[in-house]
Chain A
């Protein structure tokens, strides 16, 4: 059976035998870096295509269907166009920060990739505080956005960036609290421990209603943190032209655009890992035959499937829900999501102490 774990161990053993200790390690590091960048490029292309197709079908349209079979190469063509375009820096801009900002956003997105488990034993860095690391680094992206807004020397950019800061700082709270619910249940911050605790059932099934509430809060917070509609106030096409990236063009704009989709992927990957069991197959109690059939599906397919399902859910939100105003956005967080997730956290703690979960 195909598994990424075997592939990695074969490559690692071969490198170890041919190159020796320090060089094998360096080559592995370079390979991981290249693989991460390649993954980002492919993800960007595929997710933009998926978004456009999903949006089109939800609005009774067809979506891109001219470039390549079913329009598959449309996003490649768009990217080529963006690469060809001039990357203009405005005259009054703070040039250093202006050019640095897109890379900040991208680097913040890349850093969160480290603790994500793509398949069984296939993880860049199984850090012991994985969930804390994710929660901490995911709020670094706001620095890049603030930087872009400030350095553009444009009132719309600055407004968009300030809104984005308020939004991400607020929603980080309820995202953290809903992740904490699972940390309490599984008793570990380590991603691999959290996944292994779901071997006999995913937390969303084992944890009853409190975990489902935590999951809903988490999905809302992820949508808000990635600055997507219905929480796209940082971009706010109708009010602020394009918010914090109004002044960006060419490849620098493409980096912001890519970072948005990478952040969606990462948010959904975290959600899939924590609530839906990551690469863990779907198991039902004592049904041996059923469980064996489920085990036969590679763990990477399980992970990708769950993540794509969550991404689809977020796209579904975007193309259905009306946008929120700034005050409504903050009301939703501070008056609804935060109190609900706090009470929910108490209930989850009680559940974990009493052992009510399955």
Chain B
């Protein structure tokens, strides 16, 4: 009985090791399985939800959806976002709060997505762009609303 157990262990060991060797041998001989992406030559295939930076989409008439509610600023755990608001007088002569500058400090951002989730009017989204290297760190402080942009009609 002991010998039977003994040889059973030997057999199981060898067969399980051979199973592993078959898989690595398969990978070794099949170069099409290689998943390395050679980045500078070929653009990497990124997942759709990959978080590269926060952007504020504008439509073709230079309008955004940001109301300046500062929900994103409050949601941000490390002070990446700073919103400066101003008062605008609309067509009916009423005063209305609007954003002056939407300051986004990329160097502080951890891409946690909390600001995007906090936004009630879907004004900001995460984009896939990841090539952020610059020679001056001041360039990492970005203003997300484009100059002369307005809030979109019907967004409150």
What residues make up the interface of A, taking CB atoms closer than 8 Å to B? 54, 57-62, 65, 316-317, 319-321, 336, 340
Residue B50, interface by CB 8 Å: no
Roughly how many angstroms separate A65 CA and B129 CA in the complex, as a whole number?
26
B1-44 at interface with A (beta carbon < 8 Å): 10, 17, 20-21, 23-25, 27-28, 31, 33-36, 38
Query: Chain B binding site: helix, strand, loop or mixed by DSSP?
Result: helix
A316-B31 contact given A61-B36, A62-B36, A62-B38, CB 8 Å threshold = no
Roughly how many angstroms separate A319 CA and B31 CA in the complex, as a whole number?
17
Q: Which 4 A-B pairs have the closest CB atoms?
A: A58-B24, A62-B36, A320-B24, A320-B20
Q: Are B28 and A57 in contact (CB under 8 A)?
A: yes
- CB-based A-B contact count at 8 angstroms: 37
What residues make up the interface of B, taking CB atoms closer than 8 Å to A? 10, 17, 20-21, 23-25, 27-28, 31, 33-36, 38
For residue A59, which residues in chain B have a CB less than 8 angstroms away from its CB? 27
Q: Are A320 and B17 in contact (CB under 8 A)?
A: yes
For residue A60, which residues in chain B have a CB less than 8 angstroms away from its CB? 27, 33-36
Roughly how many angstroms separate A320 CA and B26 CA in the complex, as a whole number?
12
Beta-carbon nearest neighbor of B19 in chain A: A320
A61-B10 contact given A316-B24, A316-B25, CB 8 Å threshold = no
For residue B31, which residues in chain A have a CB less than 8 angstroms away from its CB? 57
Q: How far is the CB of A316 from chain B (nearest CB, A)?
A: 6
Given contacts A60-B35, A317-B21, 15 further A-B contacts (CB under 8 A): A54-B28, A57-B27, A58-B24, A58-B25, A58-B28, A60-B33, A60-B34, A61-B34, A61-B36, A65-B38, A316-B21, A316-B25, A320-B23, A320-B24, A321-B17
Q: How far is the CB of A17 from chain B (nearest CB, A)?
A: 51
Beta-carbon nearest neighbor of B29 in chain A: A57
